[in-house]
Chain A
Amino acid sequence: MNTQESLTYVRKNAAAALVKKYIPALVFLVLLLVSSLLSDAFFTSQNIFNLLRQLSGTTIISMGMLMVILTGGIDLSVGSVAAMTGVIFAYYLNSAGLGVALLMTFACAALTGLVTGYLVSFQNMAPFVATLASMTATRGIAYIVSKGTPIQIKNPMVLAFGKGSLFRIPFPVITAALVFAAVAFVLHYTSFGRFVQAIGSNETAVKLSGVRVQYYKWTVYIIVSCLCAFAGIISDGRSGVGSANIGNGMELDAIASCVIGGASLSGGKGSAANALMGVLILGMIGNIMNLMNVAGYPQQVIKGIIIVAAVLLQGNQKS
C-alpha cells in the first residue's frame, strides 16, 4: 500500500466506525416506531413516564457497569448492593433520620466497592469472582438488616422523591438523567475517562506509560457501588419499602444494556450514550410486550433473541 491508498483505507474504516456508532440509536428509533404502531397505549405520556421511572434504577446502574466493563472488568454485585443499600437506607431512616441514613447508605456502598475494587486491582482477583463473592455477601447483609421482612418507609420527603415529579418529569428520571450526563462527561472529557477506556484496551501499555492503573480500576468499583446506592434509594421511594428482594437479575440487565449499546466485554469499547440506548431498547421491549399482553415466560425468550440480534447487527461478536 502506498501512503495515498492507506489513507483512503483509514478513511473508509472511519466511515464504517461512524455508522457502527449509531446502530444502537437506530435500533432504538425503529423499536420506538414499531411500538407506537403496535399499541395505542404505548405513546402516551403516562406510559412513557412510567417506563422511564421504572428504568431509572437500571439506567443509573448501567452507567456504573459501563465504566467497569470499559476497564475490562465486570460487576455482578450491583443488584445485591442496590438491595443492601435500599434496606440500610430504610433502616436508618426509621431509626435515625434522613441525614444519617444517607451517610450510612453511601458509606456502606463505598465500602463494598472499596473491598471488591481492592481485590480486583491489588490482589489480581478475577472481577467475576470478586464480585460474585460480594454479590452473595451483600444480599446476605440485606436480609440480616431487614430480618427478612420489608422495612416500611414513612419519611414524606423520600416518598415524594420516589413518586413525585418536577414539571411532570419524575424525580428518579431526573436523577438518572443527571447520572447519565455526569458519566458521559467524565468518559468524554476527563483524563479519568480517557484512562478507564485505555486500560480496557491495553492495560500493560497504560501502566508502562506511568499511569497508576490500579487506582483507576479501584475507583471504578467504588463508583459503581455508590451508583447502586442511588438505585436502592430510588427503589425505596418508589415502593415505599426497603426490601432485600429487589435487584434480582439487575446485573444481567445492566450488562445486557451495555452490550446492546455496543460495549465490548473485553474492555475499551463503549459509550454512555449507547449504553443508555441499550437500557431503553431493553426496557421498551418489555413494555410493549406487557401492553400487548404477552405472557412472562415468552417475554424472556424474545428478550434473549433481541439481545443476540442487536449484538449481531453490530458485527463485533469477537471483540
Chain B
Amino acid sequence: MEEYCIRMENIKKSFGGIKVLRGINLKVRRGEIHALVGENGAGKSTLMKILSGAYKKDEGRIYIDGAAVEIGSPRKGRELGIGTVYQEFELAGDLSVAENMFLDRLDTHGLVHWKKLYRRAEQALKELGFEINPKEQAKNLSVAYQQVVEIAKVLSISTKILILDEPTAVLTPKESEKLFDTLRMLKQTGVSIIYISHRLEEIFEIADTITVMRDGEITGSSPKEDIGMEDVIRLMIGRELSTLYPLRDACIGEEILRVEHLSGNRFSDIGFSLCRGEILGISGLVGSGRTEIARAIFGADTRRSGEIYINGKEASIHSPADGVGLGIGLVPENRKEQALVLAMPIRHNVTMCNIKKVLGRLDIIRQRQEKALVGDLTKKLAVKADTIEAAVQNLSGGNQQKVVLAKWFNADSQVIILDEPTRGVDVGAKVEIYNLINQFAQRGLGVILISSELSEIIGMCDRVIVIDEGRQIGQLQKDELSELNIMKLAVGGTVR
C-alpha cells in the first residue's frame, strides 16, 4: 500500500493574476497529524480549499492513496473521504445542533426520524468528549461549542482525511486538550489529519510532521523531532523573533477603575480595581463569563447590580455611549462582527468612537483634518495599507485589529478592555499588537486583557483575576503567575 495518503505535486493557484500558490509539493502519511503553519496570507487555507474541492487548482496533480484524482467540487472531496472544518463557522444558527450535524442527510425516504437523529448527534458528541444538548439551537452555543459541533459534523461522515483550520483559536486550554485526545484517537484509526494553527506550542505538542509555508511556497517540512520552535518561526516570517512578549517597565499609578459587587447575566459579585499603567488579566475558560463582565463594565449589557467607580467617582453606565463618554474602550472578541464596519474605509472606522474631534459647524466632518489624524495614527500603529481610504475588509486580520486599536487611541480612553485581541492573528502581527497594548499602559491607561491563551496572560499581565462559572475565584500577582497556578484556580474545587 502507498505510504502517503495524500500527495500534492506542483500545485499552483492565482486569483486575478495574484499568485497565491507557487508550486506546492505536499505529502501526508497515512495516520499522521501533519501541521501546516505560516502567517496569514501564506496560502495555507487556499491549499486546503483546493484539497477539499472548494477551489479549483490552476496547475498540478493530486494523488489520494496513490491514485490521481480530480477534486472538482466539495461533494467530490467528501466522496473521497476529505472532511474540512473551516475557520469561519458554517452552522445555521436557528437550527438545532443535531440538524446542523446531519444537515445533508436528515431524512430517510423523505421523513425525519427525530429521536434517532438526536440520539446519533448526542452519541457523536459524547465520543468527542463533550456533553452538548443536540436539541439546542446552534446560535445559543458558545463559540467553543460551535467549533466542537463543526468537528463532530465532519467526523460523522466517514472521513479518512480531516482538515482542521485553526480549530483551537476559540478553545480554552482544557477544551483544546480534549480535542487533542480525540485527534490522537482518530490518528490511531488511520485518519490523516492536516492541522492548521498559529499556536506553535500546541503544534509541537500534537503534530508528527510540521510543514511551514510562506508567500505561497513551502519553506520547510520535517518530522517534529528534527525541528525546533525557533526554526519554525524563522521559516514562517523569514527573520528571527527574539521574544514574543515584549518587556515593559510597569509604571503603576493611582487607581482609575474600581468595580464592586458587579452582577449580571452569567456572572455575579465581581470586584476588582485597576490602576493607571497596569495590565490586568482576566483568565478563565470560554463561557466562564469573562466577556460578559467586560461588556457590563463597558455598558454593552445591562448589569443587575453593583457599582463601577472611575477615578473614585461612581459612574452611571447604561449604554456603550456612556462607557465611551467616561473613557472606557472595548476591543470586542469578534472584530469583524462587533468592532469594524468592514465595507467602510479605514478612515471612517478609526474616527468612529470620537468623531467630535474632527467635527466643524453643523456636524460637518472636516475631511482634511480627519485624513491627517488617521494618517498619523495608522503610521504610528504600522497599519499596512495602501491608503487610509482602503476598505477595512481588504486588510489582513492583524491589520484589522490594529485599526480597532487605532479607534481607541483616537478616543483618548482612560481604560481599555481587550477581549481576545490576538485571536486569528499571525505571529508577526501578534508581537506588534502586544507592543501596542504596552503602549496603552505606558501612556497611563488602565488595561484589562481577556485571553484564552495562558502564555499571553502570563507574558503580558501585571496581575490576573481568575473567573470560573461567573464567579471570581482568585487573584494572582505577577510573581505568582504560571500556567499551573492559573489552571489550578480555574478548575479548582469544581467538578466539570
Could you tell me which residues of chain A, from 30 to 57, have a CB within 8 Å of some CB in chain B? none
User: Given the complex of chains A and B, what is the CA–CA distance between A191 and B364 in angstroms?
Assistant: 6
User: Given the complex of chains A and B, what is the CA–CA distance between A209 and B321 in angstroms?
Assistant: 7
Proximity bits, A160-194, B CB within 8 Å = 1, else 0? 00000000000000000000000000000111101
Q: Which residues of chain A have C-beta atoms less than 8 A from B407's C-beta?
A: 209
Proximity bits, B301-341, A CB within 8 Å = 1, else 0? 00000000000000000011101110000101000011111
A1 near B352: Cβ-Cβ < 8 Å: no
Would you give the shortest CB distance from B117 to chain A, in whole angstroms?
31
Known interface pairs A7-B386, A8-B18, A192-B363; A205-B355 also in contact (CB < 8 Å): no
Interface size classification for chain A: 20 to 34
User: Given the complex of chains A and B, what is the CA–CA distance between A201 and B341 in angstroms?
Assistant: 6
Among A9-17, A147-155, A250-258, A283-291, the stretch that binds chain B is A9-17
Q: Which residues of chain A have C-beta atoms less than 8 A from B228's C-beta?
A: none
Would you give the shortest CB distance from A126 to chain B, in whole angstroms?
16
Q: Counting CB contacts under 8 A, is A313 at the interface? A: no
Known interface pairs A198-B352, A269-B343; A210-B411 also in contact (CB < 8 Å): yes
Q: Counting CB contacts under 8 A, is B342 at the interface? A: yes
Q: Which residue of A lies closest to B343 (CB)?
A: A201
Q: Counting CB contacts under 8 A, is B348 at the interface? A: yes
A211 near B321: Cβ-Cβ < 8 Å: yes
User: Given the complex of chains A and B, what is the CA–CA distance between A5 and B21 in angstroms?
Assistant: 13
Q: Which residue of B lies closest to A8 (CB)?
A: B18
Q: Counting CB contacts under 8 A, is A204 at the interface? A: yes
Q: Which residue of B lies closest to A190 (CB)?
A: B363
B390 near A10: Cβ-Cβ < 8 Å: yes
Q: Which residues of chain A have C-beta atoms less than 8 A from B16's C-beta?
A: 9, 12
Sample 26 A-B pairs with CB under 8 A, ordered by A number.
Answer: A1-B216, A5-B18, A5-B19, A6-B394, A6-B396, A10-B386, A13-B391, A14-B390, A189-B365, A190-B362, A190-B365, A194-B355, A198-B348, A202-B340, A204-B337, A205-B340, A206-B352, A208-B339, A209-B339, A210-B324, A210-B325, A210-B353, A210-B411, A211-B320, A211-B321, A212-B319
User: Given the complex of chains A and B, what is the CA–CA distance between A202 and B325 in angstroms?
Assistant: 21
Q: Which of A5, A195, A201 has the most CB of B within 10 A?
A: A5
User: Given the complex of chains A and B, what is the CA–CA distance between A159 and B152 in angstroms?
Assistant: 72
Could you tell me which residues of chain B, from 365 to 397, have a CB within 8 Å of some CB in chain A? 365, 367, 384-386, 390-391, 394, 396
Q: Which residues of chain A have C-beta atoms less than 8 A from B18's C-beta?
A: 1, 5-6, 8-9
User: Given the complex of chains A and B, what is the CA–CA distance between A205 and B403 in angstroms?
Assistant: 13
Q: Counting CB contacts under 8 A, is A2 at the interface? A: yes
Q: Which of A11, A190, A191, A198 has the most CB of B within 10 A?
A: A191
User: Given the complex of chains A and B, what is the CA–CA distance between A14 and B387 in angstroms?
Assistant: 11
Give the 7 A-B residue pairs with the shortest CB-CB distance, closest first.
A210-B324, A209-B352, A201-B341, A7-B386, A5-B18, A202-B341, A209-B353
Q: Which residues of chain A have C-beta atoms less than 8 A from B298's C-beta?
A: 208
B320 near A209: Cβ-Cβ < 8 Å: yes
A189 near B364: Cβ-Cβ < 8 Å: yes
Q: Counting CB contacts under 8 A, is B489 at the interface? A: no
A202 near B337: Cβ-Cβ < 8 Å: yes
Q: Counting CB contacts under 8 A, is B41 at the interface? A: yes
User: Given the complex of chains A and B, what is the CA–CA distance between A240 and B215 in angstroms?
Assistant: 71
Known interface pairs A1-B20, A209-B352, A212-B319; A6-B41 also in contact (CB < 8 Å): yes
Q: Which residues of chain A have C-beta atoms less than 8 A from B341's C-beta?
A: 198, 201-202, 205-206, 268
User: Given the complex of chains A and B, what is the CA–CA distance between A3 and B411 in angstroms?
Assistant: 29
B363 near A210: Cβ-Cβ < 8 Å: no
User: Given the complex of chains A and B, what is the CA–CA distance between A108 and B319 in angstroms?
Assistant: 31
Q: Counting CB contacts under 8 A, is A197 at the interface? A: yes
Q: Which residues of chain A have C-beta atoms less than 8 A from B344's C-beta?
A: 197-198, 201
A212 near B321: Cβ-Cβ < 8 Å: yes
Q: Which residues of chain A have C-beta atoms less than 8 A from B362's C-beta?
A: 190
Q: Which residue of B lies closest to A7 (CB)?
A: B386
Q: Counting CB contacts under 8 A, is B300 at the interface? A: yes
Known interface pairs A191-B365, A198-B352; A268-B343 also in contact (CB < 8 Å): yes
Q: Counting CB contacts under 8 A, is B359 at the interface? A: yes
Would you give the shortest CB distance from B359 to chain A, in whole angstroms?
6
Q: Which residue of B lies closest to A2 (CB)?
A: B215
Interface size classification for chain B: 35 or more
User: Given the complex of chains A and B, what is the CA–CA distance between A206 and B386 in angstroms?
Assistant: 24
Q: Which residues of chain B have C-beta atoms less than 8 A from A211's C-beta?
A: 320-321, 352
Beyond A5-B19, A9-B15, 5 extra complex contacts between A and B, CB < 8 Å: A11-B386, A198-B341, A198-B344, A202-B340, A210-B321
Q: Which residues of chain B have C-beta atoms less than 8 A from A6's C-beta?
A: 18, 41, 394, 396
Q: Which residues of chain B have C-beta atoms less than 8 A from A202's C-beta?
A: 337, 340-342
Known interface pairs A11-B386, A12-B16; A205-B338 also in contact (CB < 8 Å): yes
User: Given the complex of chains A and B, what is the CA–CA distance between A220 and B394 in angstroms?
Assistant: 30
Known interface pairs A5-B18, A210-B320, A210-B324; A204-B338 also in contact (CB < 8 Å): yes
User: Given the complex of chains A and B, what is the CA–CA distance between A3 and B169 in angstroms?
Assistant: 25
Q: Which residue of B lies closest to A203 (CB)?
A: B341
Q: Which residue of A lies closest to B413 (CB)?
A: A210
A13 near B394: Cβ-Cβ < 8 Å: yes
Could you tell me which residues of chain B, from 148 to 196, have a CB within 8 Å of some CB in chain A? none
Q: Which residues of chain A have C-beta atoms less than 8 A from B19's C-beta?
A: 5
User: Given the complex of chains A and B, what is the CA–CA distance between A201 and B393 in angstroms?
Assistant: 12
Q: Which residue of A lies closest to B216 (CB)?
A: A1
A194 near B340: Cβ-Cβ < 8 Å: no
B384 near A3: Cβ-Cβ < 8 Å: yes
Q: Which residue of B lies closest to A9 (CB)?
A: B18
User: Given the complex of chains A and B, what is the CA–CA distance between A204 and B367 in angstroms?
Assistant: 25
A190 near B332: Cβ-Cβ < 8 Å: no
Q: Which residues of chain B have C-beta atoms less than 8 A from A12's C-beta?
A: 16
User: Given the complex of chains A and B, what is the CA–CA distance between A14 and B359 in angstroms?
Assistant: 27
Q: Which residues of chain A have C-beta atoms less than 8 A from B386's C-beta?
A: 7, 10-11
Known interface pairs A202-B337, A204-B337; A210-B323 also in contact (CB < 8 Å): yes
Would you give the shortest CB distance from B100 to chain A, in whole angstroms?
23
Would you give the shortest CB distance from A256 to chain B, in whole angstroms?
23
- CB < 8 Å: which of B41, B332, B343, B384 contacts A208? B332
Known interface pairs A201-B342, A201-B344; A208-B320 also in contact (CB < 8 Å): yes
Q: Which residues of chain B have C-beta atoms less than 8 A from A206's C-beta?
A: 341, 352
User: Given the complex of chains A and B, what is the CA–CA distance between A36 and B330 in angstroms?
Assistant: 58
User: Given the complex of chains A and B, what is the CA–CA distance between A202 and B349 in angstroms?
Assistant: 11
User: Given the complex of chains A and B, what is the CA–CA distance between A208 and B321 in angstroms?
Assistant: 8
Q: Which residues of chain A have C-beta atoms less than 8 A from B384's C-beta?
A: 3
User: Given the complex of chains A and B, what is the CA–CA distance between A190 and B323 in angstroms?
Assistant: 24
Q: Which residues of chain B have C-beta atoms less than 8 A from A204's C-beta?
A: 337-338
A190 near B364: Cβ-Cβ < 8 Å: yes
Would you give the shortest CB distance from B66 to chain A, in whole angstroms?
33
User: Given the complex of chains A and B, what is the CA–CA distance between A205 and B324 in angstroms?
Assistant: 13
A194 near B364: Cβ-Cβ < 8 Å: no
User: Given the complex of chains A and B, what is the CA–CA distance between A9 and B330 in angstroms?
Assistant: 31
Proximity bits, A264-283, B CB within 8 Å = 1, else 0? 00001100000000000000
A208 near B364: Cβ-Cβ < 8 Å: no
User: Given the complex of chains A and B, what is the CA–CA distance between A6 and B20 in angstroms?
Assistant: 10
Q: Which of B15, B16, B321 has the most CB of A within 10 A?
A: B321
